[in-house]
Amino acid sequence: MELKELIRGAHHLIEAKDKKRITQEDMARRIGVGHRTYLEYQRGTNAPLAMKSLLNLLNMLDDVEIVKVVREWNSSNKANS
């Protein structure tokens, strides 16, 4: 599966969770990138190496460990806001 497919899939899952349509511009704002950058991610014209590396790292963990990493990231972001 290509990175762009993962991004699109995650976008759709978040829309389903929020029970509303989320524009690319709104999603870009949510994840802290520019609208054009997010659009390029979805098109597959820009695939950041860091994102690929992170997904490869997460793939080496089991589900519980992945959740722990994501929750720590979330807590850190909230503390820095």
pLDDT digits (tens, 9 = 90+) for 28-75: 999 989 999 999 999 989 888 888 888 999 999 999 999 999 999 889
Predicted pLDDT at 1: 73
The dihedral sign for the CA sequence 10, 78, 61, 28: positive
> For 5-67, what is the HEC assignment?
HHHHHHHHHHHHHHCCCCCHHHHHHHHCCCHHHHHHHHHCCCCCHHHHHHHHHHHCCCHHHHH
pLDDT of res. 78 = 82
* Per-residue pLDDT, 67: 95
pLDDT of residue 52: 86
pLDDT digits (tens, 9 = 90+) for 17-31: 999 999 999 999 999
pLDDT at 79: 86
